[in-house]
Amino acid sequence: MSERWVWDRYWHCDRIASCFDGAGARNYGDSIAAGWREYFAELPEQARIIDLCTGNGAIALMAAEAGKANSKGFAITAVDQADIDPPSYVTRNREEMAAIQFVGRTEVEALPFPDESFDVAISQYGLEYSNLDRAVPEMVRVLRRSGRIRLVIHAAEGVIAAGSRKVIADADLLLDAIDLIGAARRCLDAVARVERGDGSMIARQRANAAVADFKTALRLTSGHIPHAEDKIMFNNSGGVLLDAFQARGKVGHSAALAKVETVESEILAHRGRLRALVDSALDKNSVEALIEQLKEAGAIKAKWGKLENAEGLIGYVATARFA
């Protein structure tokens, strides 16, 4: 399972934001959006903006909305290493989405744009996933000499990273200790053998044992829901697999087994994304090092601050301006 596969799968969905919003159906709330609205309100008319590691365009969308509301006519380009195509997956904000140029399969360490192509570079929970030693100079390269930067970065000490670690532990429990996916797969295979005509004692015993194991895995899954950080993952996984087993007579063994594969892929993608988040999050010292890196790249003003909501620290904000 590659990291690119994880992100392709994650963004091929009707979601905009990645955090603080359940399935991400809406955009970020005021704890994040307020800072961006204020920032975009201060930008000059016709500003050329590049949104790095855009995902499905949450911040690019805010820029488009601000540009429209204030008649500023921003030109917005949004790039991501994933195979993104937000207009094909996101069913809302069609007009604003159409105003953004999305460019997928684009590494921030090697941007396909000439020098000084943009006035502003922005990123929300994205740039930290890159190789900063290569990405920061590349970001500066495509900025005009008077360019601006605003980055929101995952905090290693923050509540998002802490919650992500708990969800990773949940996924590990579901996949390994409980072995829900394995139990469902073995159950379907053993039962299908009997239902296809193998009436031997051994086949029936194996089917009965596999059904019992699957029931045990379902019971353990259900029992952990009150304690899980990601209750939806546990509830949906158990429910979908039970439905697949019960519907096997109507849909067939192959279709039921395909449902098991789908659930496994969803859990693996979810866990992979969160592992990438935890591994990429920056601590206070790393953010200070990023600020120094921006200064060395020519920023005349570069600073950082904390981003918090009612739950606590949710990120760091780094800003810079060039001469």
Q: Are residues 88 and 55 in the same domain?
A: yes
Q: Are residues 9 and 52 in the same domain?
A: yes
pLDDT of residue 1: 57
| CATH assignment of the domain containing 117 | 3.40.50.150
Considering its fold, how many domains does the chain have in total? 2
Q: Are residues 78 and 186 in the same domain?
A: no
Asked whether 63 and 122 are in contact (CB, 8 A), the reply is: yes
Q: Are residues 302 and 272 in the same domain?
A: no
pLDDT of residue 38: 95
Asked whether 245 and 184 are in contact (CB, 8 A), the reply is: yes
Q: Which 8-state DSSP code applies to residue 13?
A: S
Rounded Cα gap, residues 144 and 12, in angstroms = 33
pLDDT of residue 27: 61
Rounded Cα gap, residues 160 and 150, in angstroms = 20
Q: Are residues 181 and 101 in the same domain?
A: no
Long-range contacts of 94-99 (CB under 8 A, 24+ apart): 96/61, 96/64, 96/65, 96/68, 97/57, 97/61, 97/64, 99/64, 99/67, 99/68
| Measured torsion, CA atoms of residues 237, 240, 245, 250, in degrees rounded to the nearest 10 | -160
Q: Are residues 134 and 179 in the same domain?
A: no
Q: Are residues 148 and 287 in the same domain?
A: yes
Rounded Cα gap, residues 76 and 167, in angstroms = 34
Q: Are residues 14 and 138 in the same domain?
A: yes
Q: Are residues 153 and 169 in the same domain?
A: no
Q: Are residues 285 and 318 in the same domain?
A: yes
Three-state DSSP class for 313? Answer: strand
Q: Are residues 108 and 120 in the same domain?
A: yes
Rounded Cα gap, residues 300 and 294, in angstroms = 9
Rounded Cα gap, residues 40 and 33, in angstroms = 11
pLDDT in tens, the chain (323 residues): 577 888 998 898 888 876 433 433 456 888 899 999 999 999 999 999 999 999 999 999 999 999 999 999 999 999 999 999 999 999 888 888 999 999 999 999 999 999 999 999 999 999 999 999 999 999 999 999 999 999 999 999 999 999 999 999 999 999 999 999 999 999 999 999 999 999 999 999 999 999 999 999 999 999 999 999 999 999 999 999 999 999 999 999 999 999 999 999 999 999 999 999 999 999 999 999 999 999 999 999 999 999 999 999 999 999 999 98
Question: In the structure encoding, which two tokens stand for residue 292, read together?
Answer: 């120094």
User: Where in the sequence is the domain holding 200, given as residue range(s)?
Assistant: 160-277
Asked whether 260 and 175 are in contact (CB, 8 A), the reply is: no
Residue 108's nearest CA partner among 99, 121, 98, 90 is 121
Q: Are residues 237 and 310 in the same domain?
A: no
Rounded Cα gap, residues 232 and 166, in angstroms = 14
